[in-house]
Amino acid sequence: MQKVVKYRCPSNIALVKYWGKKDGGVQLPANASISWSLSDLFAETTMIATPSNQTQLVFKYDGNPKPSFEPKILDFLTRIAPFSDFVNQHSFEIDTINNFPHGTGIASSAAGFGALALCIADLEGQFEIGSNEFYQRASFFARLGSGSACRSVYAAPAVWGEHTDVQDSSDLFAVPFEGHIHESLQNWKDCVLIVDDGEKKVSSTAGHSLLKNHPYAEARFKQAQKNIGNILQFMQQGNVSDFIALVESEALQLHSMMMSSIPYFTLIRPGTLAIMEEIWTFREETNLPIAFTLDAGANVHLLYSSEIEEQVINFIHTKLLVNCKKGLYLCSSTGGKPLKLS
Ligand code: PMV
């Protein structure tokens, strides 16, 4: 019998970054990472599963066939197959859409693989929908698509990778951080300032692999583990200034690892630096709680407490938009949950 399901899954932004994989296994992180989900930047995916003794796939984007995406998704299904009889015994029609414009440089893989993984975990029916085991299974599947996607299935800050300070943390899936987050670090927002909307020169996959022979890799992995312990303390205590310093340091460490890879590369652009400097000046002048972070690209994620939204939007318009491609920026709340839509 044919089964149909539809999920919405948010994108996420890492506060402590995953950059580099462990040897062996598929997509096992060299260090733990933590992220906020971005509930207003999401993918919506419909999956139709038909019993079949061979896993076949039709992939559509917003109703239009996209055969060029099929090898990547088939590869994902092949990685899941050893863990799921359901995947082995079905063919799939998948129709997906992102609510953010294409070609903005915003990674769609976290939301996309997150939504796909939720559909599969739901249809295979192994765990009660909405239970911890259900989200853990979805997170496990999502990781096999794109590492950082495994953090997208939780509303709470999600930790992926083994860490002594996080109970049940694992390299295989992300877990929600259960500790109480201080109210000064709840309800933050993220405005993504689009500095560059082109294809990245170096993919994340290639970037991760350059950590293999990287002169500073071991020191970076150690630092990231330490930063996870620290950021969790800052978030629980409401230590906003140390939180901001740590988040910005993580963004710069990520990009300095790129610049010191062999061969080296850069993803930040002059506009990225100009925005960072404006943010530092603004913070010095106003003392308001804002921070930047970066993912593997030139765009700047401006994180701020929702209480100061008006000042931040005004700041974006007066100082930052000149550095945004076509004046484009996209804002989201943090901490949204995935949704089952049908
Ligand atoms: O999940 P991937 O392979 O696209 O790697 C993502 C890496 C960063 O976005 C740079 C950091 C992170 O933890 O999300």
Q: Is the shortest distance between the CB of 18 and ligand 1 below 6 Å?
A: yes
Evaluated on CA atoms 59, 61, 66, 72, the torsion sign reads negative
* Mean pLDDT value across residues 107-136: 95
**To 5 degrees, how large is the angle CA 93–CA 4–CA 55?**
40
The pLDDT-based confidence of 108 (bands split at 50, 70, 90) is confident
Average pLDDT over residues 108-121: 95
pLDDT digits (tens, 9 = 90+) for 186-241: 999 999 999 998 888 899 999 999 999 999 999 999 999 999 999 999 999 999 99
Tell me: pLDDT of 105 over 80.
no
Cβ of 204 below 6 Å from ligand 1: yes
Report d(CA 36, CA 268) in Å as an integer.
22
Residue 286 Cα to ligand 1 midpoint, Å, equals 32
What one-character DSSP code corresponds to residue 102?
T
Residue 39 CA to ligand 1 center (angstroms) comes to 18
* Sign of the CA dihedral with 115 first, then 120, 121, and 125 last: positive
- Alpha carbon 44 to its chain centroid, in Å, reads 16
Atom 9 (ligand 1) nearest CA = 295
Contact of 42 with 332, CB cutoff 8 Å: no
34, 228 Cβ separation under 8 angstroms: yes
Which pLDDT score, from 0 to 100, does residue 80 have? 95
Give the bridge partners for 25, in sequence order. Answer: none
pLDDT in tens, 13-43: 999 999 999 998 889 999 999 999 999 999 9
Is the shortest distance between the CB of 33 and ligand 1 below 6 Å? yes
**Where do runs of H (alpha helix) occur along the chain?**
70-80, 85-88, 109-124, 132-145, 204-209, 217-237, 240-259, 270-286, 309-315
Q: Which tokens belong to 181?
A: 């987050």
Ligand 1 neighbour 17 (Cβ under 6 A): yes
Task: Provide the mean pLDDT of the chain.
Answer: 96
pLDDT in tens, 122-165: 999 999 999 999 999 999 999 999 999 999 999 999 999 999 99
Number of neighbours of residue 36 by Cβ within 10 angstroms: 28
Q: Which domains does the chain have, with CATH numbers?
A: 3-183 (3.30.230.10), 187-333 (3.30.70.890)
Rounded to an integer, what distance in angstroms lies between the CA atom of residue 145 and that of residue 29?
A: 13
Q: For residue 148, report the distance from its CA to the centre of ligand 1, in Å.
A: 5
